[in-house]
Every structure is written in C-alpha cells, then in structure tokens.
Homo-oligomer: A and B are copies of this chain.
Amino acid sequence: MSRVRMGMVGGGPGAFIGAIHRCAAALDGEIELVCGAFSRDIGRSRQTGEALGLSAERIYDDYVSMIETEAALPASDRMEFVAIVTPNKMHFPVADMALRNAFHVFCEKPATFDLDEALKLRKAVLDSGCRFGLAHTYIGYPMVQEARARVAAGELGEVTRVLVEYTQGWLSSAAVAGKEEPSWRLDPKQAGASSAMGDIGVHASNIAEFVTGLGIVSVLADLGAVVPGRELDDDGTVLLRFSNGARGVLVASQICTGEANNLSLRVYGTQGGLEWQQQEPNTVVLKFVDRPDQVIRTGDPFVGAGAQAFTRTPAGHPEGYIEAFANLYRAFASDVRQTGNRPAWRGQVHVPGIDEAVRGMAFIESVVASSRDQSVWRTMGEAV
C-alpha cells in the first residue's frame, strides 16, 4: 500500500504546530512528507526541509512555486495534498491556489481570516471536487467520537444544556511577564478578529456542535483583553442557544493563570448527562439519575465504531494528543485515496471539513459582533 504524498506550507523552525502535524502524519506510516515551503525565510525553509530528509529540489522558496512545480510533476510523484500550518492570514490564499491546482487541502483552524474568506473557500472546495480537512484535533479523540455516538443513540434523551470551556494561562500576566508578546496571534492583521475565540473558542464551539449533533443558532458574548495593551481579546464568555432551543455557555480564555489546555465539555439531556475533559482524554463519564454513573474508557470492548476506528492500543494504554491528531490525518489520507480510487482504510468516523470551517468563522464573527454591541444576542446567519 503506497503512502499518500503530503506537502507542507508553514512549519519552519520554532513553529510548534507544524512539527506536531508532521508527527501526526507520520504515525501510522500511511502518509509521506515529500515537499514543503516551510518559511517565508528561504534559509529557514531549507534548514527545515533538510533536517526532515527532503531532497533539495522539493524544498521550495514559497507556496506559489511549490504548487506550480508540484502540479507539473508526474502524477505518481507529485504531492497529493497540502497541509497548511501558517498564520491564519495565509490559510485562504494557499488553500485556494492548491484547490485550483487539484490538490487536496488539510488546514489548521481557524479555517480562514474571516467569514467572507470561508464562504469563498467553500465555493473553491465544491468547485474543485477536492477534499478539505480541518484540524479540529479534539474530534480525533476516541472518547469524543464515543460521546457523539452516545448522544446520537439517545442515551441522554433530548439535549437541554451544554457547558463547554477552553481555558489556558499562557497569555496571563504571570506567563508573559518579561517576555515578548507572541508575534502573530495577538495581531489583528494576522490572526483575525479575536484571539481567544479564533485560537481556542472555535475548538470549543466545534466540539459542542460535534458531540450534541446540534447547531448553535445564536450567541451573546462578553470579550475583553485582560492584559493591558492588547489589541485583541484574550478572554471571553459566550451564551449559546442551540437549534433545538437548548441553552449553552462557552468560556474561552488565555489568561486563566495556571491552566494548561483545559478543554472540557458537559452535555445534559432529559435522560442523562455526559462529561469529557481533554487533559484526561481517555475517559468519558455518563451520568444518570436512577442508576450509577458510567465510566467508559478508550479501548473498552463495547465502544462504538467511531471510537474503535480511532484506537490503536488496548484499554489502559493512554492515547494522547498526537494520536488524536493522527486519527484525523489517517481519515483524511483515506479520503484522498478514495478520491484516487485506491484501496483505503475507512473507519466509521466523522471528521471536520469545509462545513465546520464555515461554521467556525461564522461563530467567531457573531461573537465578536455581539461583544462589540454591548452583549446583545446575535443569530449566526442564514448563509451558514
């Protein structure tokens, strides 16, 4: 079974998430990195590519030359998809050119700089017939798949209440004291309209919709910059209303001093509740009134098809963040194979794509608009 060939844009020296993408793509031995344009600085791009063992002619100076050159290679050699791990501002231009050249795209979140770009991206994806995958990594955890399956099976009854949080402390005063501000994430020209919502809140809205199977229809937000001098928010709360009328609340904050990467989701329904926490991702708890709470673990023999497809080890061998990420890559690579009519693994899993891309950008824009307007309720919009 030949590997799926990947090119990368972004991910040069010091870029945390690029290295993670490469580990995740490598894990199952089904994807091969064949080329890259890793930095706008040509020297740094070459340095990265060489350390990764790429041949010199497939380390490119920029994404334009990469896409053009690769498109001209024989079909059996050229990359099959592009992984985009640049700052947000560059996601759309790279993805758009790749799609126009018939390359599939796997992209970091948030999908684009703003909602307008996301709508254009959706059109480009549909026009191209190519696959678009979005790195909502947390969907790749087996117990998140299981949570969705349990809700879909009606074990909670009708969903009535959602509590979702994503708290970090890496931008708190104590964490940034004496250091430079992270270059692009707090810059509205590169990151977009929100830091807290664009970087982490959009993960939270995505997982809430994914697990409940419901859409967020309106939001009311209170955002702010807690650390003085920032142009973008670093903290916010959003009241949610879901498509079935259920109430929700979403907290996203980068200034919760002492928190690491604390994404948690609780969903309650007429018949039961569930809880999942990213920092201990291999358990999901179901809660009931008239019988004991249930603890389900990655690798348990009775979990659903989605969780099984995303599990490599027997119960009790913790599957971590990179495995979750690798699950998305593996499913995406399988989709790419199918497009090419090659045999493909395909677990029964749902992974994020262009629809989630558009919804995420609509969420960010609606939230920012609500907060600017003294926290009024905003609908997420017809287009979405």
Count contacts on A: residues with CB < 8 A to the other chain.
95
Residue numbers in B under 8 Å from A22 (CB-CB): 29
Is A255 an interface residue when CB atoms closer than 8 A count as contact? Answer: yes
Q: Which of A207-251 contact B (CB under 8 A)?
A: 220, 222, 224, 226, 235, 237, 239, 247, 249, 251
> Closest approach, in angstroms, between the C-beta of A176 and any C-beta of chain B?
9
Contacts of A237 in B (CB 8 A): 239, 247, 249
- Our pick among B3, B174, B281 for the contact of A289 (Cβ within 8 Å) is B174
Considering only residues 306-331 of chain A, those with a C-beta below 8 Å from chain B are: 312-323
Shortest Cβ distance from residue A144 to the other chain B in the assembled complex, whole angstroms = 13
- The listed residue with most B CB atoms (<10 A of its CB), out of A247, A260, A374, is A260
Main secondary structure of the interface of A (DSSP, over half): loop
A-B contact pairs, 8 of them (CB 8 A): A20-B313, A27-B322, A220-B220, A237-B249, A249-B249, A253-B268, A255-B268, A278-B316
Does the CB pair A296–B290 fall under 8 Å?
A: no
Residues of B contacting A23 with CB < 8 Å? 27-29, 312
- A183 in contact (CB, < 8 A): no
Known: A174-B271, A293-B295. 6 other contacts (CB 8 A): A170-B314, A249-B251, A257-B271, A278-B318, A286-B292, A313-B321
A163 at the interface (CB under 8 A from B): yes
Write the A23-34 contact mask toward B (1 if CB under 8 angstroms, else 0).
100111100010
A16 contacts B314, C-beta separation under 8 Å? yes
Chain B: CB-nearest residue to A301: B290
